[in-house]
A and B are shown apart, each in its own frame.
Chain A
Amino acid sequence: DAGVIQSPRHEVTEMGQEVTLRCKPISGHDYLFWYRQTMMRGLELLIYFNNNVPIDDSGMPEDRFSAKMPNASFSTLKIQPSEPRDSAVYFCASSLMGRVGQETQYFGPGTRLLVL
């Protein structure tokens, strides 16, 4: 298996622009998580899905952030408009959480976002 795939790996954009991050989870996994990692705040859970349905979006910082999962093999995280404080590494992870012995999460390589 190729693991969790994220694109792009690096994104540099200007303040006010729309940014779309993409994730392909591991085939067969039924949970998908979006995280943000910064030096100041560490690793934060933004939102997670179960069977393509958003379960908890309480970590989404504000309305500028939105996430979708149109099918089991694809998810997007969109920031519109972007701001410099959104600069971070964004990780996607997937899991078969909920089944004993399979609660671990598998992380993608991350997207490093820089908003100028």
Chain B
Amino acid sequence: SQQGEEDPQALSIQEGENATMNCSYKTSINNLQWYRQNSGRGLVHLILIRSNEREKHSGRLRVTLDTSKKSSSLLITASRAADTASYFCATSTGTASKLTFGTGTRLQVTL
């Protein structure tokens, strides 16, 4: 079953604009991760935020985590055409070492 649900399912923006994707999950987590998947490729890890963290930055990426609302957001600033991909959140829970992936947001960045 899906732990995370991304919103929106699809997003189309122009190059230079910011893109915001949201993820909601159901149970308490150890950490939440965001991954990118280019068409026809495997997933690539972008950033990890722990349950005791509220915000994290990596280059043009900004991730926030609100454990009270069981939600996270991924902000990509100054988007580029190369950012076109699907973005997934994934949660780690309990003592298990596995991740549960959300349904993904398809981002299209046009010139």
Tell whether, in the assembled complex, residue A107 and residue B99 are in contact, meaning their CB atoms are under 8 Å apart: no
Collect the chain B residues with CB atoms within 8 Å of residue A103's CB.
Answer: 31, 33, 48, 92, 97
Does B64 reach chain A (CB closer than 8 Å)? no
- Taking a contact as CB atoms closer than 8 A, the residue among B2, B48, B103, B104 that contacts A104 in the complex is B48
Interface residues of A in 60-116 (CB under 8 A from B): 91, 93, 95, 97-98, 103-110
Secondary structure at chain A's binding surface: helix, strand, loop or mixed?
strand
- Taking a contact as CB atoms closer than 8 A, the residue among A31, A42, A97, A107 that contacts B42 in the complex is A107
- Taking a contact as CB atoms closer than 8 A, the residue among A31, A43, A108 that contacts B88 in the complex is A43
Secondary structure at chain B's binding surface: helix, strand, loop or mixed?
strand
User: Within the assembled complex, what's the spacing in Å between the Cα atoms of A108 and B42?
Assistant: 6
User: Within the assembled complex, what's the spacing in Å between the Cα atoms of A95 and B96?
Assistant: 13
Tell whether, in the assembled complex, residue A97 and residue B97 are in contact, meaning their CB atoms are under 8 Å apart: yes
Smallest CB separation, A99 vs chain B (Å): 10
Tell whether, in the assembled complex, residue A109 and residue B41 are in contact, meaning their CB atoms are under 8 Å apart: yes
Number of interface residues of B (CB under 8 A): 20
Indicate whether A104 sits within 8 Å of B41 (C-beta atoms), given known contacts A33-B98, A45-B100. Answer: no
User: Within the assembled complex, what's the spacing in Å between the Cα atoms of A45 and B93?
Assistant: 14
Does A13 reach chain B (CB closer than 8 Å)? no
Tell whether, in the assembled complex, residue A42 and residue B33 are in contact, meaning their CB atoms are under 8 Å apart: no
Residues of B within 8 A of A (CB): 2, 31, 33, 41-45, 48, 88, 92, 96-104
A-B contact pairs, 26 of them (CB 8 A): A4-B42, A33-B98, A42-B2, A42-B103, A43-B43, A43-B88, A43-B101, A43-B104, A45-B99, A48-B98, A50-B97, A55-B97, A91-B43, A97-B97, A103-B33, A103-B48, A103-B97, A104-B33, A105-B43, A105-B45, A105-B99, A106-B45, A107-B44, A109-B42, A110-B41, A110-B42
